[in-house]
Copies of this chain bind each other. A is one copy, B any other.
Amino acid sequence: MAKITIKDVAREAGVSISTVSNALNDVDVLNPVTKSHVLKVAKQLNYVPNLNGKQLRSGKTKMLGFFTTSVSGPYFYKLVESMSRECDRLGYGLNVFITKDKQVIMSNILGRRVDGAIIYEELRIDEEDISAMEEEKIKAVFLDRVLHNETMGSVIFDSFVAGYEATKYLISLGHKKIAYISGVDTMFDSVERKEGYLAALRQYQIPVIEDYIMQGYFEEESTYNAVKSFLHLHPDKVPDAFLAGNDLSAIGCIQALKTLGYGVPLDISVMGFDDIDIAQYYTPPLTTVRNQIAKQGILAINQLVRLIQKKEQGVVQKLACELVVRGSSHVKINSD
């Protein structure tokens, strides 16, 4: 049997197409008897509305798109999970697009496959595309870029404060020689964390030593190598503590220190960022800074829906971080 359409339901129920449409969409102009009759027939025929027809006509899809370059790692699935739940609550569907192709993003948004977009794309969308989106009054919320105008906004982590607070904590343990293992310098959070680190040092009048800032690229292995070669080169400059750009980097750092015979945390404190799943199971358990990932998802979806409903203009929302103290950090033991 061919696909049942609204037409078939109308014929079978002995009413017009528009009556069927009104019945299905709860438009309150119908005689209750007619309505229930139509619904009964529809159910009996196993009628399912064609979403493409519906969307074409109404101009709405009731779908939100999450566009991201990657979905691996706990950040993404926690985010996706919270957004998904919030979408359910608000009567929207969530659509996850994983792609590095900017074209895909633009054609899906501008081609109206979704009513609005949450975007995490590591800064690949350039000003020109932003303008195109602005022109078309596309509704979007960015998770890794600070931006707000009539139809677009942001929800981001306050990574500057995260870097600042982490450093302040290490200082409070008595550490002065604090090394920083930088992440990827093109990423927003990476840059902000480092700035926070630098700001804290300045605040407590601890001189910034360039050699103490190394590149870990957010990876375990790169960090392992970086830390090892640093200590090889500067055996006289062993830091009191390492602040790594993220937890994976912190693990690489600790592995290197273990290999070289340093005890963590007794000889050297190490901390990271993110509080990934592994952090609490690692030996020693990682001291780290946790972001409110679920909250970011919830705020983003809510702002997006408000934008779609034109209840407000775009805003920038910043989320506070949370220090998680575990076993990889320790008060400075005076070894003089």
In the assembled complex, the CB of A278 is this many whole angstroms from the nearest CB of chain B, namely 5
- Contact, CB under 8 Å: A3 / B278: no
Stretch at the interface among A10-18, A51-59, A261-269: A51-59
Q: Which of A51, A55, A107 has the most CB of B within 10 A?
A: A51
Interface residues in A52-90 by Cβ distance below 8 A to B read 52-56, 61, 70-73, 76-78, 80-81, 84, 88
In the complex, A127 has a CB within 8 A of chain B = no
Q: Which of A49, A107, A251, A281 has the most CB of B within 10 A?
A: A281
Could you tell me the distance between the alpha carbons of A72 and B72 in the complex, rounded to whole angstroms?
Answer: 11
* Interface residues on chain A, number (Cβ under 8 Å): 49
When A98-B94, A104-B93, A135-B1 are in contact, do A48 and B84 touch as well, CB less than 8 Å?
Answer: no
Number of copies: 2
Could you tell me the distance between the alpha carbons of A95 and B159 in the complex, rounded to whole angstroms?
Answer: 31
| 9 A-B pairs with the lowest CB-CB distances in the bound complex, closest first | A96-B96, A51-B111, A48-B110, A52-B56, A84-B98, A52-B55, A283-B283, A51-B113, A56-B56
Which residues in A have some Cβ–Cβ distance to B below 8 Å?
1, 3, 46, 48-56, 61, 70-73, 76-78, 80-81, 84, 88, 93-99, 101, 104, 106-108, 110-113, 132, 135-136, 251, 277-278, 281-283
